Structure 1
């Protein structure tokens, strides 16, 4: 098999895996192989586990969030940068079904995933430090609090809601959480998408 064939098969597997995730179907490698019209051994050669495939699917969104956070850290308005990053993170989780399970995983199959998540968490902590230093967030709010609250917003907007309702509910719940986090009067805590 040539490199070009291997690259084509890899892309076919990734595209098929993305379809499975977007349709909320279980990501079983044998099923992915069948639907991608490649051999099962080919799939396992590229992705030894379904977690490795899922992490690969999440990499572009993780890279986009890292780029967003890096830009946000250059923003003069610490609160709007923080809010914008949280909004981008939630929107990414709603549009990319691979992100939530990767964020929730206890460990990672691929070193690149651990590197991307670690970098993203460091940037998020820097954004939180900026609003803390500026006195714009309630005292005592930690990075883990923010992470859990954002997961809660995504969950709350997803459970018992139709896909069409999720974006509106997410903005509503995020605004409520931001109002609670903001140390001021709450008039600047609106999400960037609402």
Structure 2
């Protein structure tokens, strides 16, 4: 399944047509490298994109900047899903469906796990999206707590390591992407059963 490519540049100035075309080609090659499990090396990307090395470095000064750009559509989709979940009427279903979506995204988009795990972000937009996800997921958990449907002892600080544990457990012994996705959803369902409470 292909991944959308969006035009996010290192500056706010619009790109000329040729520069925009080069940008898109570089991001497409970066996407291919990530999907194929290859590390992003900017010199290799330049060669595969048939552009000069200086052109690549002008758009993306580090491999991390290119990786984060590749991951941006996935991050934005998760933010949109969380915002939509908050608009729902069922606090438990909203939290459950959002966490399932996060797990599915991290299993199916190999650009997301390293970006989520990185302690430092190369692009301000990445930092904004990650912070927004933390805020939205916290609000979803708070709402579930308020409705009495989530264990109050499970805090927002607990959720990230718990989700990382699900992803790790699903990927450590699974080769096929479909098997990893199915296993991740099964493990997350077990976690959710432990998190869920019946309202008083």
Partner in structure 1 of residue 86 of structure 2? 73
Partner in structure 2 of residue 102 of structure 1? 115
Partner in structure 2 of residue 180 of structure 1? 194
Partner in structure 1 of residue 10 of structure 2? none
Gaps of 5+ in 2: 1-14
CA offset digits 1:63-109 (Å, max 9, x no partner): 11111011100111000000000011111111111111111111111
C-alpha separation in 2, matches of 1:144 and 1:157: 21
> Is residue 162 from structure 1 mapped to residue 175 from structure 2 by the alignment?
yes
Gaps of 5+ in 1: 186-194
Partner in structure 1 of residue 26 of structure 2? 13
Partner in structure 1 of residue 3 of structure 2? none
Q: Which stretch shifts more, 139-148 or 126-135?
A: 139-148
Residue pairs, 1:112-123, within 5 angstroms: 112-123=125-136
**Aligned-pair distance for 1:35?**
1.0
TM-score, length basis structure 2: 0.89
C-alpha separation in 1, matches of 2:153 and 2:101: 24
CA offset digits 1:30-64 (Å, max 9, x no partner): 11111111111111000000010111111111111
C-alpha separation in 2, matches of 1:94 and 1:167: 6
Contact residue 82 and residue 136 of structure 2 kept, 8 A: yes
Moved over 2 A (4+): none
Partner in structure 2 of residue 153 of structure 1? 166
Q: Could you say what secondary structure the match of 1:155 adopts?
A: helix
Residue pairs, 1:32-51, within 5 angstroms: 32-51=45-64
Q: Aligned residue pairs: how many? A: 184
TM-score, length basis structure 1: 0.91
Partner in structure 2 of residue 4 of structure 1? 17
Partner in structure 1 of residue 37 of structure 2? 24
